[in-house]
Amino acid sequence: EVQLVESGGGLVQPGGSLRLSCAASGFTFSSYWMHWVRQAPGKGLVWVSHINSDGSSTHFADSVKGRFTISRDNAKNTLFLQMNSLRAEDTAVYYCARAGGYYSLDSWGQGTLVTVSS
């Protein structure tokens, strides 16, 4: 069974940093592209970032470009999202998701809440 478990969320002050992790199991992690998607409280889903299977190619939404970094450790089956210069508008539940068939997101974690507030 595919499992994705996010961790690392919490309360952080504006301008601060946070590193999210997503532990994967039940599939060959190193073979799949991965994504981060976020959802602000009461709002819709927003795509944040993508990484290819070996970590050599990364892409970001304009709203986080230059502030967020995505990476992965295929030996430890773990996906990361390093978030710097956090803003109030980054407050959201952050989901990691597996890319199935490359262009859809076929498995999702339960999400981890990031709150940016002073």
Partner 1 sequence: QSALTQPRSVSGSPGQSVTISCTGTSSDVGGYNYVSWYQQYSGIAPKLMISDVSQRPSGVPDRFSGSKSGNTASLTISGLQAEDEADYYCCSYAGSYTWVFGGGTKLTVL
- Residue 6: C-alpha distances to residues 2, 31, 74, 111 (Å): 13, 19, 16, 6
Distance CA 11, CA 98 (A): 26
Assess 87 for contact with partner 1 (CB under 8 A): no
**Least Å distance between CB 118 and partner 1?**
26
Residues in 48-67 at the binding interface with partner 1, rule: CB under 8 A: 50, 52, 57, 59, 61-63
64: Cβ–Cβ under 8 A, 6 or more apart, which residues? 48, 49, 83, 90
Report the amino acid identity of residue 33. Answer: W
Assess 1 for contact with partner 1 (CB under 8 A): no
Assess 47 for contact with partner 1 (CB under 8 A): yes
- Residue of the chain from 1, 56, 75, 103 that contacts partner 1 (CB under 8 A): 103
Tell me how long the chain is. 118
Task: Find where tokens 């290819």 sit.
Answer: 52
Residue number with CB closer to partner 1 (71 or 110):
110
Calculate the CA 21 to chain-centre distance. 8
Residues in 17-46 at the binding interface with partner 1, rule: CB under 8 A: 35, 37, 44-46
**Least Å distance between CB 13 and partner 1?**
26
Neighbours of 23 (CB within 10 A): 16
**Where do contacts with partner 1 occur on this chain (CB under 8 A)?**
35, 37, 44-47, 50, 52, 57, 59, 61-63, 95, 100-101, 103-111
